[in-house]
Amino acid sequence: MTGRAPVIGLALPALAVGVRHAFPTLTTRRPSGSVRPRYAGQGRPGGVALTFDDGPDPKGTPAVLEFLDARGWRATFFLLGSQVRRHPQVARSIAAAGHEIAVHGYEHRNHLARSASWVRRDLRAAREEIAAATGMQPRWVRPPYGVLSAGTLAAAKELQLTPVLWTAWGRDWEAGPADTVMAHLRRALRDGGTILLHDSDCTSRPGSWRSTVGALPLLAADMTRRQLVVRALDEHLGGGR
């Protein structure tokens, strides 16, 4: 994870989100490219991993959990420490339903704009807040906007968290129609890929979680048609639950 050139800005699609939300000047400086497979969440064939960022959220998370329960799907939730502090019982409900818990950060900040020590403090605080609320020790980290800075990688190594980004996203933060979210997913989603959606609108357009929830039945139909199972990252990337 270390010992190679800094991977600052390696996550181009992710960076585009960061750009949209906070750093409009960064995009034009980035060369085009793609997420390195090592961090993209490319897993075993025969299925895809389903992941949600930015929760827990008192409105979005229960709606997502209800669908997952009805469908019998397990997913991975990349939680924000700041949201866990506000809604610890919602964080607990995710873990209690058998889903996997992971670290998104404490604050939703672009790590490229922060010092290595800030990033380390943020991820450590997030891990502690999440573990205290859920009783689970997270294994994965996905920094805000998918921006992996050299500081992110160093902190992840120190905290024994493995970075995982995604291979397909629904751009659900735009709060568009569900079939648009599904169209974005379909464009990039391949066997063994990892899906990024959001169970919270705390960093995006108000009510955008409704687009997410609306897209889930469409995803289910697509997965059935393609005969792919949906699973959490622990099962997808190996190492078991």
Residue 124: CB atoms within 10 A of its CB come to 17
CA distances from 193 to 34, 78, 196, 233, 241 (A): 14, 17, 10, 10, 18
**E strand or H helix at 178:** helix 178-188
What's the closest the beta carbon of residue 229 comes to Zn ion, in angstroms?
A: 25
Q: Which of 184, 198, 199, 236 is catalytic?
A: 198
Alpha-carbon span 132 to 64, nearest angstrom: 23
What's the closest the beta carbon of residue 104 comes to Zn ion, in angstroms?
A: 6
Q: Which two tokens stand for residue 80?
A: 């924000």
What's the closest the beta carbon of residue 144 comes to Zn ion, in angstroms?
A: 5
What's the closest the beta carbon of residue 197 comes to Zn ion, in angstroms?
A: 11
Residue 53 or residue 172: which is nearer to Zn ion going by CB? Answer: 53
Q: Mark the segment that binds Zn ion (CB under 5 A) among 23-31, 45-53, 121-129, 225-233.
A: 45-53
Residue 54 or residue 172: which is nearer to Zn ion going by CB? Answer: 54
User: Rule CB under 5 A: which of 158-197 touch Zn ion?
Assistant: none
**Residues paired with residue 168 on neighbouring β-strands, in sequence order:** 195
Q: Identify the residue among 15, 51, 52, 53 touching Zn ion (CB under 5 A).
A: 53
Binding residues with Zn ion: total (CB under 5 A): 3
Query: Which residue from 63, 71, 122 is spatially nearest to 94, judged by alpha carbons?
Result: 63
Residue 53 or residue 201: which is nearer to Zn ion going by CB? Answer: 53
Does residue 77 contact residue 100 with C-beta atoms inside 8 Å?
A: yes
What's the closest the beta carbon of residue 212 comes to Zn ion, in angstroms?
A: 13
Determine if 54 is a binding residue for Zn ion (CB under 5 A): yes
Residue 43 or residue 144: which is nearer to Zn ion going by CB? Answer: 144
Q: Mark the segment that binds Zn ion (CB under 5 A) among 22-30, 39-47, 62-70, 139-147.
A: 139-147
Alpha-carbon span 203 to 205, nearest angstrom: 7
Active site residue 57: no
User: Rule CB under 5 A: which of 143-162 touch Zn ion?
Assistant: 144
CA distances from 84 to 80, 130, 134 (A): 6, 7, 9
Determine if 57 is a binding residue for Zn ion (CB under 5 A): no
Active site residue 87: no
Alpha-carbon span 78 to 20, nearest angstrom: 20
Alpha-carbon span 158 to 1, nearest angstrom: 11
Residues assigned a catalytic role:
53, 198
Which stretches of the chain bind Zn ion, using CB under 5 A?
Answer: 53-54, 144
